[in-house]
């Protein structure tokens, strides 16, 4: 019986679904440790990351994987086996449909101490704050993304946050700024 056929009267199933509702918690509390143990991801976990980052790209990534004749498991074993950061990023970028931002999300879940999510909100927050070590433009290459990660790592260490918490704080600063602009003068 698959999960959609499991009775909602089943307490265990409802607890599982409640945990899944907080997808970020699921990704970092369950998927990340599972990847650390197994060195790969099943398609369910891989696409949970994809949908978390950008739901609209999932069908492009399914097609991209099919065009490379790679399974999710094989791709993620390749990522896991790479001993340096650059080949981990580049292994993902070889799949049509996976760009740098998506690769960053997948890598952040799988290696949360090494990678951080690349998105415009976090980038703008850092750029406007003159954070040292940032690339001169929004990262468009693997080396620029790795430079971005390094600048974020240094900032996270300086302010005593994990990379993940720094990313959340940067995103929240941008979100709050947009909200304040929207609601200014509504009092």
For all residues of the chain together, what is the average pLDDT?
92
| Dihedral (CA of 142, 148, 152, 155) sign | positive
Q: Which of 70, 94, 115 is the last residue of a domain?
A: 115
- Report the C-alpha gap between 68 and 167 in whole angstroms: 31
- Report the C-alpha gap between 46 and 51 in whole angstroms: 9
**Whether residue 104 is found in the same domain as residue 36:** yes
**Whether residue 41 is found in the same domain as residue 123:** no
Which of the pair, 94 or 2, is modelled with greater confidence? 94
- Tokens in use for 141? 């290459």
**What tens digit of pLDDT does each residue of 18-32 get?**
777 888 999 999 999
- Report the C-alpha gap between 95 and 173 in whole angstroms: 32
Contact by Cβ (8 Å): 133, 154: yes
Q: Which of 88, 115, 142 is the last residue of a domain?
A: 115
**What tens digit of pLDDT does each residue of 30-86 get?**
999 999 999 999 999 999 999 999 999 999 999 999 999 999 999 999 999 999 999
Question: What's phi and psi for 129, nearest 5 deg?
Answer: -100, 5
Count of Cβ atoms closer than 10 Å to residue 176 Cβ: 10
Q: What range defines the domain where residue 48 resides?
A: 11-115
6-11 mean pLDDT:
69
- Report the C-alpha gap between 138 and 122 in whole angstroms: 10
Output the pLDDT for position 71: 96
**Whether residue 69 is found in the same domain as residue 144:** no
Q: Which of 81, 115, 149 is the last residue of a domain?
A: 115
Let me know if residue 5 belongs to a domain: no
Cα→Cα distances 173→118, 136, 165, Å: 15, 21, 12
**Whether residue 131 is found in the same domain as residue 148:** yes
Contact by Cβ (8 Å): 126, 170: yes
Kindly state the helix (H) or strand (E) to which residue 69 belongs, with its residue range.
Answer: none
DSSP 8-class letter at 160: T
The pTM of this model reads 0.89
CA 47 and chain centroid, separation = 11
Count of structural domains within the chain: 2
**Whether residue 106 is found in the same domain as residue 15:** yes
Output the pLDDT for position 1: 38
pLDDT over 80 at 158, yes or no = yes
């Amino acid at each position: 019986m698959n999960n959609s056929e499991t009775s909602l009267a089943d307490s265990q199933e409802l607890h599982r679904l409640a945990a899944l509702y907080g997808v970020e918690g699921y990704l970092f509390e369950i998927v990340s440790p599972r990847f650390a143990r197994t060195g790969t991801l099943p398609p369910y976990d891989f696409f949970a990351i994809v949908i978390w980052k950008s739901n609209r790209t999932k069908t492009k990534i399914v097609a991209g994987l099919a065009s490379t004749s790679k399974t999710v498991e094989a791709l993620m074993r390749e990522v896991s086996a790479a001993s340096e950061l650059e080949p981990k990023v580049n292994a993902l970028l070889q799949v049509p449909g996976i760009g740098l931002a998506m690769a960053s999300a997948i890598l952040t879940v799988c290696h949360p101490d090494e990678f951080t999510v690349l998105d415009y909100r976090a980038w703008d927050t850092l750029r406007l704050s003159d954070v040292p070590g940032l690339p001169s433009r929004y990262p468009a290459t693997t080396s620029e993304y790795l430079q971005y990660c390094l600048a974020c790592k240094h900032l996270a260490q300086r302010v005593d946050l994990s990379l993940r918490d720094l990313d959340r704080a940067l995103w929240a600063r941008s979100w709050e700024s947009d909200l304040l602009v929207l609601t200014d003068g509504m009092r």
